[in-house]
Amino acid sequence: MSQVVPEHLQKTARGEEVTLLEAISEGLYEEMVSDDRVFLMGEDIGVYGGAFKVTRGFLEAFGDRRVIDTPIAEGGFTGAAAGAAHMGLRPVVEMQFMDFISPAYDVLTNYIATSLYRGAGPMPMVIRGPVGGGNRGGPFHSQNIEMAFFHTPGLKIVYPSTAYDAKGLIKAAIRDDNPVIFEEHKGLYRAPALREVLPAEDYIVPLGEARTVLEGEDLTIVTYGAMVHKSVEAARTLEGDGVGVEVIDLRTLLPLDEDAIVESVKRTGRLLVVHEDTRTGGIAGEIAIRVSERAFEWLDAPMLRVTAIDAPVPYSGSLEDYFLPQVDDVVKAVRYLAAY
């Protein structure tokens, strides 16, 4: 069929700013144009254009053989995507909300993640969708699911915080020969402050490489997703106190850029890990033990974490605000560590 370029996917070509959501759409679109093995599967992604309109216009551009509306059966269509990947295709599966990835946990951990290790060949597929709280979505539409899969060898986990990274990372994930879980914080999708003019030329952001957002000499904050922006806000607040905070955006959680974390902590002597995920079993614990193993003698204070509390995400706005880490929580933790 003739290629129809949706109007809203021409912003970068026109030199206009795009949102994080539009950046992901552009990345998907460009990969589908450049590689006809790439196709999309998910609930309401075709005619409706996706719950958040990430795939708006894709059905008209590529047809229903490459933009496939599925039944409400996450385990089933994730397994079907795995079969397609075995046959040389490169499926991108959308979870309408990442909370609903749990029915696909079995096929993801027991089959997809182990494929290469069992001699069944590469498994080039992406499972992407919205995560995160702050939108009063309650416990079924607000979860961060990364640590449910972090313990599974064979998977990669990506969680961007900017439009530039989101586009570059989704393109890199699609080109990767391993299964990638790609988390997109819904609170960042259309955030006005995150609009960027992206490069017109093709680019990727390599998986497994963290980014230093701010440089500082007194303390390291390691974070990702929406908490990158709260951490930067906290760091700016503390500049008046004479505290230089280094903020590292992990971008990829698995594989974890351990070297970037350790090198920063060796310079600053203090570590704070900030994540929106709940506290127990969160990635902060893994990061802390790795720093302890490789940089304990450089530490000048205890390692701390600022996280969500151990509870389901509340519906109530005031309760959700209490549940989620806030800028003031980060500021308080940094001040404690700086004075230690």
Residues annotated as catalytic are: 141
Enclosing H/E stretch for 285:
helix 283-295
DSSP 8-state assignment for residue 239? G
> Which residue reads 């230690």 in tokens?
340
Q: Distances from the Cα of 310 to the Cαs of 14, 36, 151, 281, in angstroms? A: 45, 44, 19, 10
Angle at 309 between CA 187 and CA 258, to 5 degrees: 75
> Which residue reads 């919205």 in tokens?
130
Q: Distances from the Cα of 297 to the Cαs of 31, 168, 255, 272, in angstroms? A: 46, 36, 25, 17
In 3-state terms the chain splits into helix, strand, coil percentages (rounded to 5) of 40, 20, 40
> Which residue reads 């269509």 in tokens?
77
Token couple for 219: 């303390």
Is residue 160 within 8 Å of 169, Cβ to Cβ? yes
DSSP 8-state assignment for residue 313? P
Q: Is the peptide bond preceding residue 192 cis, with omega within 30 degrees of 0?
A: no
Closest residue by Cα to residue 32 from 134, 133, 131, 174:
174
The Cα–Cα gap between 270 and 336 comes to 11
Closest residue by Cα to residue 137 from 87, 175, 90, 187:
187
